[in-house]
Structure 1
């Protein structure tokens, strides 16, 4: 009987271990909530002071504190680590709010993030400054980019669209009010098109005008035609469309001037024009020329793009430029245009120079991370902006058909813009689905 009970106990232990291993692989959020979070929280609580000390994240106490410790408490004066203000567990990791003592800055913790990650046994540690003197340690318990799932509360709102998941488990939001112009780079099969699909899928739900420029004869943007206010599929059409957009920009500036404001969002809602998002699929096709006669068209396109990038933010016209490579070799004006595109998203690239083109002027530290993106993880990218901060992100897979269905569903949100009517893409009517025949077959009798 004893032998049987021992066998049953051993079998139960093995089954439990196997179940935990299965959950760890298939349901990492569940495993983290049940096992990883309590273990990490305890390790953090018991080793916090010693970890901060060996990582060089402590400072000497104030004179008053040292005097009280030496003469009142009769104990040794020890260095002071950042004070823990709040510890909060999430479904992906641990959030710790710290109050920095005098002598420490957020950059000190950022430099030690790898040492903290290994000390507490978590997948990653990122530092975010919440307000002066306070930082938040965002610990991620597992690789959240392996199976991308956006947080439940991540929904398009205003002019902000959640398009990807950050490495710290939060949503990467493309907010056109914060970052009006952006550049997305990536090699073939890197996930650049999937990123744009997620963006269009989110923008289609918002009251904005979408303008597509796809010089690959519309093979990408033609699927989104029901939701587009305008579509150009050749360089000549693109030049004409950009001229119209510049004219629209100038008329909106006249409106602002007439009402004595400098930003479209300062106008009363009844007078406010609809925001316009211009999506350029492959920017190199607008710059390259095959003969001398194309130079005039190229100059028109480049001049219009630069003018829009420099001034159109105030009147609610935003640029979203995509390409495989965007450097000075494209010709005159390329570098000037790139400098106006504040937001940068760089997917896997074929060479280091392309990563430098996208990131070196805004976040030099991110160049190396962009060069290490593996080919077997499409959709992974490095996102940065002019603030110098950057984060690794990954876009959830969205098929072309999914984005197409959303665009057709929200086709009624296409705004009235008379200046773009002649560029409105033709949308063929859906053919009715064939159903069962209502005619009863009758046998032929002789």
Structure 2
């Protein structure tokens, strides 16, 4: 009987260990909440002071404090670590605020993030500057980018689309009013189309005019045609659509100038320099232009095509330089984008503030996307593995960068969203001539024979 109990206890322990190992791999969020979170909290509380000291994040206390400690306790005065706030558990990790001691800066904690990660047994440690003297440590318990689950309450709003998940488990929000134009690069099967799909369906639920230029005969953007206000599927159509957008931009500037006929008693809130300062009943709908495979607009084979290319590039540069105030935004996608495309390519890229780089085929492509704004991000972009589609490095002109991954969204679901939101497409008369033709949906006949009525006999 004793041997049986011993084997039962041993089998139960092995089952528990095996179940925990399986849960850690298959259900990392559940494993973290049940096992990882308690262990990490205990490890952090038990080793906080010693870990900070080992990482060089402690300083000598003030002289008056050292004298008071010696006078009252007669013990040795140790260096002081940053004062720790309340530990806040989350579904993906831990959050806590630290008040820096005099002489420290957030960069000191950022430099020690890797050592803190190993000391506390978590997947990653991220540092965020909250206010002068206070930083927030975000400890991530597992790889949140392996299986993307967007936050339940993402920070959305007008022209703010939660499109991906950051490596610190926060949502990456594409804010067009803060970053009006963006460049998205990525090789084939890197997830660039998935990023574009999530972004387009997010905008489809808002009163925004969506315009597409897809020179691959529309294979990428045609499924979203019910929601598009205009679509060009080859360079010839694009050469006609871009002048219409430039004319619409000029008309909007005339509308803003009319509002700027400022009378002496005009209230300050009625003085504006862009469309967002106009009254809501006069404000035109914002326009977002999606360009898939922008290189197709630059490639030429004849002299006549070269002249057409120069005109289109000039119009794109004008839209990038002046479109923000008119409520026109650009989303430029491609596999490569650099000076080798031809005249005007580098000038256009300089106007694209946001940068998203998926897996690319060479280092030069990553440098085209990120080298001029965040050189450290180039190495991270080159390290993206092929088995992680949707993983990308995003940067901006502030020099900051982070890894993101787009959640999977099937083409069928995205197309269905565009069909159900087709009524939200605003009326832009300048784009009516370019509205895509939607083929009628065939009506299926009911199965089985249809019953016929009997004639009435006299």
Q: TM-score per shorter chain, which class?
A: over 0.9
Whether 1:303 aligns to 2:314 is yes
| CA RMSD after TM alignment | 1.6
d(CA) in 1 for partners of 2:147 and 2:66?
A: 50
Equivalent residue number for residue 333 of structure 1: 344
Correspondence 1:213-224 to 2 at 5 A: 213-224=213-224
Q: CA deviation at 1:57?
A: 1.8
Indicate how the Cα distance of structure 1 residues 262 and 72 shifts in structure 2: closer, same or farther if over 3 A, else same.
farther
Whether 1:4 aligns to 2:4 is yes
Q: CA deviation at 1:332?
A: 1.4
State the SS of the aligned residue for 1:173. strand
Equivalent residue number for residue 369 of structure 1: 380
Residues 338-372 of structure 1: per-residue CA shift (max 9 Å, x gap): 11111111001111111111111111111111110
d(CA) in 1 for partners of 2:137 and 2:445?
A: 58
State the SS of the aligned residue for 2:157. coil
Whether 1:30 aligns to 2:41 is no
**Contact 1:190-1:348 within 8 A present in 2 as well:** yes
d(CA) in 1 for partners of 2:430 and 2:119?
A: 60
Indicate how the Cα distance of structure 1 residues 434 and 56 shifts in structure 2: closer, same or farther if over 3 A, else same.
farther
State the SS of the aligned residue for 1:135. strand
Q: CA deviation at 1:416?
A: 0.3
**Contact 2:155-2:171 within 8 A present in 1 as well:** no
Q: CA deviation at 1:438?
A: 4.1
Q: CA deviation at 1:11?
A: 2.2
Equivalent residue number for residue 444 of structure 1: none
Residues 167-220 of structure 1: per-residue CA shift (max 9 Å, x gap): 111111111122111111011111111111111111111111100010111111
d(CA) in 2 for partners of 1:239 and 1:78?
A: 72
Q: CA deviation at 1:71?
A: 4.1
TM-score between the two structures when normalised by the length of structure 2: 0.93
Which residue of 437, 441, 448 corresponds with 1:426?
A: 437
Correspondence 1:429-444 to 2 at 5 A: 429-439=440-450
Equivalent residue number for residue 175 of structure 1: 175
Whether 1:356 aligns to 2:367 is yes
Equivalent residue number for residue 236 of structure 2: 236
d(CA) in 2 for partners of 1:208 and 1:348?
A: 30
**Contact 2:59-2:80 within 8 A present in 1 as well:** yes
Which has the higher mean CA deviation after the structures are superposed, 117-126 or 187-196?
A: 117-126
State the SS of the aligned residue for 2:301. coil
d(CA) in 2 for partners of 1:439 and 1:310?
A: 63
State the SS of the aligned residue for 1:345. strand
Residues 13-46 of structure 1: per-residue CA shift (max 9 Å, x gap): 2222222222222211111001001111111111
Q: CA deviation at 1:156?
A: 4.5
Which has the higher mean CA deviation after the structures are superposed, 95-104 or 351-360?
A: 95-104
State the SS of the aligned residue for 1:142. coil
d(CA) in 2 for partners of 1:230 and 1:220?
A: 14
Equivalent residue number for residue 380 of structure 1: 391
Q: CA deviation at 1:146?
A: 1.1
Correspondence 1:43-122 to 2 at 5 A: 43-122=43-122
**Contact 1:156-1:206 within 8 A present in 2 as well:** no
d(CA) in 2 for partners of 1:104 and 1:245?
A: 51
**Contact 1:347-1:380 within 8 A present in 2 as well:** yes
Q: CA deviation at 1:165?
A: 1.1
d(CA) in 2 for partners of 1:434 and 1:44?
A: 67
State the SS of the aligned residue for 1:252. helix
Correspondence 1:206-217 to 2 at 5 A: 206-217=206-217
Which has the higher mean CA deviation after the structures are superposed, 365-374 or 64-73?
A: 64-73
Q: CA deviation at 1:128?
A: 1.4
Equivalent residue number for residue 192 of structure 1: 192
Residues 237-290 of structure 1: per-residue CA shift (max 9 Å, x gap): 112211111111111111122223112222221111111111011111111111
Indicate how the Cα distance of structure 1 residues 408 and 78 shifts in structure 2: closer, same or farther if over 3 A, else same.
same
d(CA) in 1 for partners of 2:61 and 2:254?
A: 60
d(CA) in 2 for partners of 1:101 and 1:155?
A: 32
Which has the higher mean CA deviation after the structures are superposed, 294-303 or 193-202?
A: 294-303
Whether 1:136 aligns to 2:144 is no
Whether 1:344 aligns to 2:355 is yes
d(CA) in 1 for partners of 2:86 and 2:352?
A: 37
State the SS of the aligned residue for 1:96. strand
Q: CA deviation at 1:78?
A: 2.5
**Contact 1:211-1:277 within 8 A present in 2 as well:** yes
State the SS of the aligned residue for 2:350. helix
**Contact 2:354-2:396 within 8 A present in 1 as well:** yes
Listed as ranges, the gaps of 5+ residues in structure 2 are 261-271, 453-458
TM-score between the two structures when normalised by the length of structure 1: 0.95
